[in-house]
């Protein structure tokens, strides 16, 4: 196998691992607040997922550059928590302003979710995972894309199930968050089936 | 002193951060595979929450309200960095097992939530009471979840290497699903349902 193919394989493994095997919501428990909050209807769930994926990719790019061109040369990697959270918070603001000015339809579709993303652990999570795994720039971007798409997938599946659950005869005590968490258990078990694929 | 006790007590049950407000679910589920990890995470949250509540309450009159959120985030991130370095130096094993969930305390909704909802409007002493109450509430929830998960998932009752007892059947045939990720969802889902059903916690 030549070098290029091996590199490609590596990227596919990272993508599948982030999207399915180590799914952000079901396995790493990251991003549970939006998972419980906006997974009641399919439309908003998908918009939220896409917004998160988008921010994850941009944040991974920005934090990778900062890590490699500022933190490592100055030997101040221990500052990463402060730097990363500030970068993400300001990025979200910039993206929000940019979308508001350029594409008002897109803004009304997922603009309201953007402020919530700042404190979404999945975004900070992916940047820390990239840093701890010493991923290259390309690997970081693939990891962010995989993580984001996996997040969107689970959010969408969950929203589909919860739309039906609303109509089901759930015991009163289990309505709302408890039954959503039980559903997540079953989804998580189903996702265990992906463990063997790489 | 009555006020202090009151602020402290509300975090335990009435507004328990995890079980009632559903805040900080990520760490609650991620680290509740064993009692050791649950206590380690509680220690981290205690230091960060207490520190941030004290600092934010002390400077609440100087912080312009328009820039308060970034200021709170920087304060919290600094404290988390300190805790991260302290754990790395003095509790390396715990630092290893908590992994990315230790730096992620910075986006734990409980910490920023208390800064915004309580410490930025109340004096220092009451903010300390609030932080302690919330931490103990967090600890109670985490202990409850991790006790169930550790007992069913490993069959052993041991804390920090001290072995107390083993459950008869479970220790030879543990129900491993409870220490795997889906088990966390199952335990907290059933607990929330149980509390709602018995009406212990009003939501």
**B93 token code pair:** 């094993």
Q: Percentage of chain B with pLDDT > 90? A: 25
How far apart, in whole angstroms, are the C-alpha atoms of residue A149 and residue A155?
10
| pLDDT, tens digit, 9 for 90 and up, residues A153-182 | 998 998 899 888 888 888 888 888 888 889
Residue B203's pLDDT is what? 46
Q: How far is A108 from chain B (nearest CA, A)?
A: 24
Higher pLDDT, A176 or A83: A83
Contact A27 B181 (CB under 8 A): yes
**A51 token code pair:** 């917004």
Contact B185 A85 (CB under 8 A): no
Q: How many CB pairs under 8 A join A and B?
A: 114
What is the pLDDT confidence band of residue A60, given thresholds at 50, 70 and 90?
very high
Nearest to A154 by CA among A130, A180, A129: A180
**Residue range B62-78: mean pLDDT, rounded:** 87
**Do residues B178 and B152 lie in contact, with contact meaning Cβ atoms separated by under 8 Å?**
yes
Nearest CB to B107; choose among A78, A119, A180: A119
**B121 token code pair:** 């409007």
Q: Which of A121, A154, A194, A195 to mutate to test the interface with B (most CBs of B within 10 A)?
A: A121
Contact B77 A81 (CB under 8 A): yes
**Residue range A21-32: mean pLDDT, rounded:** 85
Count of C-beta atoms within a 10 Å radius of residue B10: 16
Chain A residue numbers touching B103 (CB-CB < 8 A):
80-81, 124, 128
Q: Percentage of chain A with pLDDT > 90? A: 21
B100 has a pLDDT exceeding 60:
yes
Q: ipTM score of the complex?
A: 0.83
Contacts of B95 (CB under 8 A, 6+ apart): B84, B87, B88, B102
Residue A65 to residues A60, A88, A119, B74, Cα–Cα distance (Å)? 9, 13, 21, 21
Q: Percentage of chain A with pLDDT > 70? A: 94
How far apart, in whole angstroms, are the C-alpha atoms of residue A16 and residue A193?
13
**Residue range A28-34: mean pLDDT, rounded:** 80
**Closest residue on chain B to A25 (Cα):** B26
Contact A29 B25 (CB under 8 A): yes
Count of C-beta atoms within a 10 Å radius of residue B153: 21
Name the interface residues of A facing B (CB cutoff 8 Å).
Answer: 26-33, 36, 78-82, 85-86, 89, 119-121, 124-125, 128-129, 132, 171-174, 177-182, 184-186, 188-189, 192
**Residue range A64-91: mean pLDDT, rounded:** 89
Poorest-pLDDT segment among A39-53, A63-77, A131-145, B116-130: A39-53
**Residue range B135-162: mean pLDDT, rounded:** 86
Domain ranges in chain B?
A: 2-198
Residue pointed to by tokens 């998580």: A188
**A135 token code pair:** 């991923």
Q: How far is B5 from chain A (nearest CA, A)?
A: 30
Contact B186 A125 (CB under 8 A): no
Nearest to A125 by CA among A36, A23, A4: A23
Q: Which of A93, A125, A185, A195 to mutate to test the interface with B (most CBs of B within 10 A)?
A: A185
**Closest residue on chain A to B201 (Cα):** A173
B50 has a pLDDT exceeding 90:
yes
Residue pointed to by tokens 């100055």: A74
Chain A residue numbers touching B26 (CB-CB < 8 A):
29-32, 121
């Amino acid at each position: 196998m030549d070098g290029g193919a091996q590199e490609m394989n590596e990227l596919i493994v990272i993508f599948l691992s982030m999207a399915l095997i180590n799914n952000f919501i079901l396995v790493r428990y990251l991003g549970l607040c939006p998972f419980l909050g906006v997974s009641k209807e399919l439309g908003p769930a998908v918009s939220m997922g896409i917004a998160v994926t988008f921010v994850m990719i941009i944040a991974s790019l920005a934090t990778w550059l900062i890590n490699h061109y500022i933190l490592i040369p100055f030997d101040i990697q221990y500052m990463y928590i402060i730097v990363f959270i500030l970068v993400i918070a300001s990025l979200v603001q910039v993206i929000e302003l940019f979308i508001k000015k350029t594409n008002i339809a897109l803004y009304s579709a997922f603009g309201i979710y953007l402020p919530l993303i700042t404190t979404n652990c999945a975004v900070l999570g992916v940047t820390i995972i990239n840093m701890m795994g010493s991923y290259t720039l390309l690997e970081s971007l693939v990891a962010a894309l995989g993580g984001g798409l996996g997040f969107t997938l689970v959010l969408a599946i969950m929203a589909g199930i919860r739309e039906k659950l609303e109509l089901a005869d759930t015991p009163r005590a289990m309505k709302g968050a408890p039954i959503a968490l039980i559903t997540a258990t079953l989804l998580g078990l189903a996702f265990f089936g992906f463990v063997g694929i790489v | 002193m009555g006020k202090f006790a009151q602020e402290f007590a509300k975090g335990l049950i009435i507004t328990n951060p995890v079980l009632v407000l559903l805040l900080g679910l990520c760490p609650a589920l991620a680290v509740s595979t064993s009692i050791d990890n649950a206590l380690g995470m509680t220690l981290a949250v205690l230091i960060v929450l207490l520190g941030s509540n004290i600092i934010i309450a002390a400077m609440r009159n100087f912080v312009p309200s328009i820039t308060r959120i970034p200021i709170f985030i920087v304060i919290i991130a600094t404290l988390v960095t300190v805790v991260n370095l302290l754990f790395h130096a003095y509790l390396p094993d715990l630092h290893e097992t908590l992994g990315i969930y230790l730096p992620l305390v910075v986006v734990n909704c409980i910490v920023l939530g208390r800064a915004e909802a309580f410490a930025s409007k109340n004096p220092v002493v009451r903010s300390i009471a609030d932080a302690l109450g919330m931490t103990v509430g967090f600890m109670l929830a985490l202990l409850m979840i991790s006790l169930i998960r550790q007992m069913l998932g490993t069959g052993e009752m041991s804390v920090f290497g001290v072995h107390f007892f083993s459950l008869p059947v479970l220790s030879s045939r543990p129900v491993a699903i409870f220490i795997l990720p889906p088990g966390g969802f199952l335990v907290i889902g059933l607990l929330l349902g149980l509390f709602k059903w018995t009406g212990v916690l009003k939501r």
